[in-house]
Structure 1
Amino acid sequence: MTRRDMILAAFVATLWGVNFVVIDWGMSGIPPLLFVAIRFVLVAALVVVVPRPAASWRTIVGVGLFMSLGQFGLLYTSMALGLQPGLAALLLQAQAVFTVVIAAGVLRERPTTAQLVGVVIATAGLGIVAAGRGGDAPVLAVCLALAAALSWAVGNVISRRAGTVSGRGPLGALSLTVWSALVVPVPALALAVVVDGPEAIATGLAAFGWRPLLSTLYTAVLCTVVGYAIFNGLLARNRSAAVVPWVLLAPVVAMISAALLLGQIPTPAEAIGGVILVVGVLVTSVRRRGRSEFSLRVSRSASRSRVSAPVAETARAAD
């Protein structure tokens, strides 16, 4: 990853870290799946000004179902069941491990040694946090948060696989984000009716005041439109194993935000685990010495085809 892409990845992680506190602050009294539906109605409204991405409907629907509906439907529900924002953010980062494993099997992307070490370190930090959570988190809420992480990982791989056709620059990434949001509102609302009942939906809509509105605007505009547009662009330009671990910074931001804004002070285990997570992210950003298998294949192909030196250098830098 270039330095610019690293800064963008850290920025997205900050947006998503604060997002957990904003969701918890605004969701009070609103059924979680209804809250998800409203969020993505705002995002999907942008289809009137954003052109359709150069991707198949299968890709668009897949990203919408897994990266949006699955991830946030499960996450919001887990938080509504009592999972604190900081812990929710930490558990969701299991997606990093899930993504690297799925990408290795589906996309044949081999993580570098540094990236593998970084993921292992980050996973160890996550384990420390989980072990020191004090047993106060509902088991069902924890399981739902981990299921959300798995759904996110599947969405990551789908987005990465479509990167060559749908992620050319910020506009392509934004198009995929916006158009995939069309998949979310109707299923989310239908699930809300089934899970919470029509009466709870009516009560939630009546209680939708300025706090839920501000929370929805933050999550819809900053986190979904801006955040996922940047994130999908990063996935299109870089390997999944290089991009995804940066999101492990989000739970650190979430814990700090929860402490400052909600008075939820992390336990020593959470604090230590958070530091280890940051170390894991930094390790994954270390440039590997030598040339990867992908770079060697590109260079050999360039030599056989007598491609100019600048093109070969670009291919090496992109790995």
Structure 2
Amino acid sequence: MISTRNWSFLPLNGVLFVILAAVWGTSFVAIEVGLEHFPPLLFAALRYAVAGAIVLGYATLTTDRWRPVTRDDWTAVGVVGAFVIAGYHGLLYLGELHVPGAIAAVIVSLSPVLTAVFASAFLADERLGPVEVAGLAFGLLGVVVVAAPDPAALVGSTLLGVALVFLGGACFALGSVLTRPIDSGLPLRSLEGWGMLVGAGLLFAAGDVRGESMAAIDWSAPAVASLAYLTIVSGVLAFLLYFDLLDRMGPTEINLVGYLEPVVAAVMSWLLLGHLIDGTTLLGFGIIFFGFALVKRDAVFTLAGGATDAVAGDGR
């Protein structure tokens, strides 16, 4: 029998889960829109400089410890800032210069599979068996199907974009794993706020190396709208909602949000930009999800059983 912390909380958890997926799925399209007006790394840096200041301000009002004190605190902040914020978003934004946001969302959906792989490499109590290795292989196959590389154009723009987004997803997964053994008592809101600010600083530095400049920004209405959405809605409100759902549902369930995001991204990309997802991309997404189901098969069976119990209990 599944704990009442899981899907038995529906419909509230279900509604919040869909809202989170909708917000984060739409963010891939908002990034695509904003990249028409911002240099990529500067765009990401501005987003997280503002979002980090807001989240950290909120943490000072709602937590008992907002400032990193110990070495472990600062190590955790550094990992989040370098991998989860700067590495992931920097590579994602660069990748979306070459591939649509909806395709980027499909590639990023491989992150939970990569998280399991990195956990097996860095955490002593987590190891991949033959089934998990097969799941990883299917996940990677799904990314290859999405890329659909033409042998005559292996250095093409689309393949470059897929590679950058894939590496960004790997950074996110690696950062998520590296923070687990760090013995930091810093509250999640404080950790996220500081991580955003550190990540923004790294993105500003990387943008300067690339020669990006504030003078290159086109402060048009779409530019302001995309930055505002990504900063306030996707960057602040969605992360606070994520923390709430993480406490309500647990990490395995909340990770499933990554498999609803590509659906939202595809719909919004079609509605706002007129982009359609082709059958090859849908096939690739299905293969990636199958790989995830193999890697996390016990959790998937548990969730499926819990959902069945909840429906039976409602008499539906």
What is the aligned partner in structure 1 of residue 20 from structure 2? 12
**Distance verdict in 2 for CA 1:98–1:281, change over 3 Å:** closer
Q: Report if aligned partners of 1:64, 1:184 keep a CA contact under 8 Å in 2.
A: yes
Query: What is the identity, as a one-letter code, of the residue corresponding to 1:21?
Result: V
Q: Report if aligned partners of 2:52, 2:196 keep a CA contact under 8 Å in 1.
A: yes
Unaligned runs of 5+ in 2: 61-65, 306-316
Query: What is the identity, as a one-letter code, of the residue corresponding to 1:142?
Result: V
Query: What is the identity, as a one-letter code, of the residue corresponding to 1:209?
Result: S
Matches within 5 A, 1:179-190: 179-190=194-205
Q: 1:85 & 1:227 partners in 2: Cα distance?
A: 18
Match of 1:266 among 257, 274, 277: 277
Q: How many residues align?
A: 280
Q: Does structure 1 residue 244 correspond to structure 2 residue 265?
A: no
Q: Does structure 1 residue 210 correspond to structure 2 residue 218?
A: no
Using the TM superposition, give the Cα deviation of residue 13 of structure 1 relative to its aligned residue in structure 2, in angstroms. Answer: 2.6
Match of 2:30 among 13, 22, 46: 22
Matched residue of 1:286: which SS?
A: helix
What is the aligned partner in structure 1 of residue 105 from structure 2? 89
Using the TM superposition, give the Cα deviation of residue 270 of structure 1 relative to its aligned residue in structure 2, in angstroms. Answer: 2.1
RMSD (Å) for aligned C-alpha atoms: 3.7
Q: 2:106 & 2:150 partners in 1: Cα distance?
A: 11
Query: What is the identity, as a one-letter code, of the residue corresponding to 1:50?
Result: A
Q: 1:251 & 1:266 partners in 2: Cα distance?
A: 10
Q: Which is further off, 141-150 or 275-284?
A: 275-284
Structure 2 length as normaliser, TM-score?
Answer: 0.73
Q: 2:240 & 2:128 partners in 1: Cα distance?
A: 24
Q: 2:231 & 2:45 partners in 1: Cα distance?
A: 11
Q: 1:265 & 1:97 partners in 2: Cα distance?
A: 26
Deviations 1:147-205 (A, max 9, x none): 10110101222444459834xxxxx332222121110222212211221x2xx514324
Unaligned runs of 5+ in 1: 167-171, 291-319
Deviations 1:44-71 (A, max 9, x none): 2223342326761110111111111110
Q: Does structure 1 residue 175 correspond to structure 2 residue 175?
A: no
Using the TM superposition, give the Cα deviation of residue 100 of structure 1 relative to its aligned residue in structure 2, in angstroms. Answer: 0.9
What is the aligned partner in structure 2 of residue 59 from structure 1? 76
Q: 2:67 & 2:181 partners in 1: Cα distance?
A: 14
What is the aligned partner in structure 2 of residue 36 from structure 1? 44
Using the TM superposition, give the Cα deviation of residue 119 of structure 1 relative to its aligned residue in structure 2, in angstroms. Answer: 7.2
Q: Report if aligned partners of 2:59, 2:190 keep a CA contact under 8 Å in 1.
A: yes
Match of 1:50 among 45, 59, 78: 59
**Distance verdict in 2 for CA 1:216–1:289, change over 3 Å:** closer
Deviations 1:248-295 (A, max 9, x none): 2211221121122211111112234445666777865331899xxxxx
Q: 2:166 & 2:191 partners in 1: Cα distance?
A: 25
What is the aligned partner in structure 1 of residue 206 from structure 2? 191
Deviations 1:91-147 (A, max 9, x none): 122212110111233332468999999877766655543448997752222211111
Matches within 5 A, 1:119-158: 126-131=143-148, 138-158=158-178
Match of 1:100 among 116, 124, 127: 116
Q: Percent identity?
A: 26
Query: What is the identity, as a one-letter code, of the residue corresponding to 1:74?
Result: L
Query: What is the identity, as a one-letter code, of the residue corresponding to 1:92?
Result: V
What is the aligned partner in structure 2 of residue 2 from structure 1? 6
Q: 1:96 & 1:180 partners in 2: Cα distance?
A: 21
Q: 2:234 & 2:266 partners in 1: Cα distance?
A: 17
Q: 1:273 & 1:155 partners in 2: Cα distance?
A: 25
Query: What is the identity, as a one-letter code, of the residue corresponding to 1:221?
Result: I
Matched residue of 2:59: which SS?
A: coil
